[in-house]
Amino acid sequence: MNLRPDQFAAQLERPLAPLWLLHGNEPLLVLEAADAIRAAARKQGYEERETLVVGQGFRWDALTLAAGNMSLFGGNKLIDLRIPTGKPGRDGGDALQRHARALPEGTLTLITLPELDWQTRKSAWFTALAQTGNVLELNAPERERLPEWIAGRLAAQGQTAEREALQFIADHVEGNLLAAHQEIRKLGLLHGEGRLTLGEVQDAVLNVARYDIDKLRQAVLEGDPARCVRLLEGLAGEGAAPPLVLWALANEIRTLATLKAGQDAGQPLPMLLKAERVFDERRRQAVTRALPRLTGGALRAALLHAARIDRMIKGLVAGDVWDEFLQLALRLARR
């Protein structure tokens, strides 16, 4: 059964399902959910835990042995299986399917994975696990929902904050949910329960944003010039490699140009998106919204601009690379 995050707490109050599968793009949320399941399992009499970490040289017989061995204390047992790569391989896939078909009595299996691509979600082993147990996908909140997420975390420790303060925290922890969690805990220690002012938040919160290139691509697609400026400043400050930034922007421009040309030729957008392998739902929506504001001519000009930046990076043309990145991003993001 696929669970929504808002259904998770209620499930922990009931007798636990024998199989749990956690995955998502935010390690903090996956870790917290796994901790909550382990705590609920202890309360429900799962006295022993056996942890298996799949890495180089891991033998999948270990899962079979763990499932077959009785608890040393004669009680129920938790098998904590962690697959950091999200790729169990052929042997692992077969072992997981066998495990799902014959879940041992008195044993709870918790499987944690990273973010999974669409191919992995369609694999036989993932399908077998999803049909047998509870599946919970835990992704970082989208940028526009980050202040709301922060407000919920503050409320859990008896604090509230004005909208400007929530926005300030979001701007300074963007892309780094673990840092956001740490800053929120720090606010709880510094000020206790009650309402936080903007000044108190500004004095306490550090600039711990992780300005990554994928978020720059998303900001360009969503037409958010101010965020493009902030992200580029952060990337420059962190010493990001210009060729990587250029690759990300140029790749997005080429995708948009191909989609626009196909649309102009009368081809349906869903077919074009599939051909360009745009499968992520949020990216699909962002691309769909971006295409109407961009013309084929503008995208061709953007590709020429990217080519000029490439020559600049190679030292063939004089200029400020980061300023050119900014001009290119604004060219694409302006509405």
Residue-wise pLDDT tens digits, 278-287: 877 888 888 9
Average pLDDT, the chain: 90
- Identify the pLDDT of residue 70: 59
Going by C-alpha positions, the residue among 284, 167, 181 that lies closest to residue 226 is 167
At residue 73, does pLDDT exceed 70?
Answer: no
- Identify the pLDDT of residue 206: 76
Note down the domain range covering 274: 213-333
- Give CA separation, 162 vs 169, 186, 279, in Å: 11, 17, 37
pLDDT in tens, 27-71: 899 999 999 999 999 999 998 999 999 988 899 999 988 887 755
Q: Which two tokens stand for residue 307?
A: 């080519």
Whether residue 13 is found in the same domain as residue 129: yes
- Identify the pLDDT of residue 71: 53
The residue out of 137, 155, 176 marking a domain boundary is 137
pLDDT in tens, 194-244: 999 998 998 888 767 666 788 888 899 999 998 899 899 888 888 888 988
Whether residue 103 is found in the same domain as residue 10: yes
Name the phi and psi angles at 255, rounded to 5. -60, -45
Percent of the chain with pLDDT over 70: 97
- Identify the pLDDT of residue 317: 87
Whether residue 225 is found in the same domain as residue 172: no
Count how many Cα atoms sit within 13 Å of the Cα of residue 213 in the half-sphere of its side chain.
Answer: 15
Q: What SS3 class is residue 195? A: strand
Output the domain CATH number for residue 155: 1.10.8.60
pLDDT in tens, 82-118: 999 999 999 999 999 999 999 888 899 999 999 998 8
* DSSP, res 4: P
Output the domain CATH number for residue 282: 1.20.272.10
Whether residue 225 is found in the same domain as residue 285: yes
- Identify the pLDDT of residue 162: 92
Q: For the chain, how many structural domains are there in total?
A: 3
- Identify the pLDDT of residue 136: 96
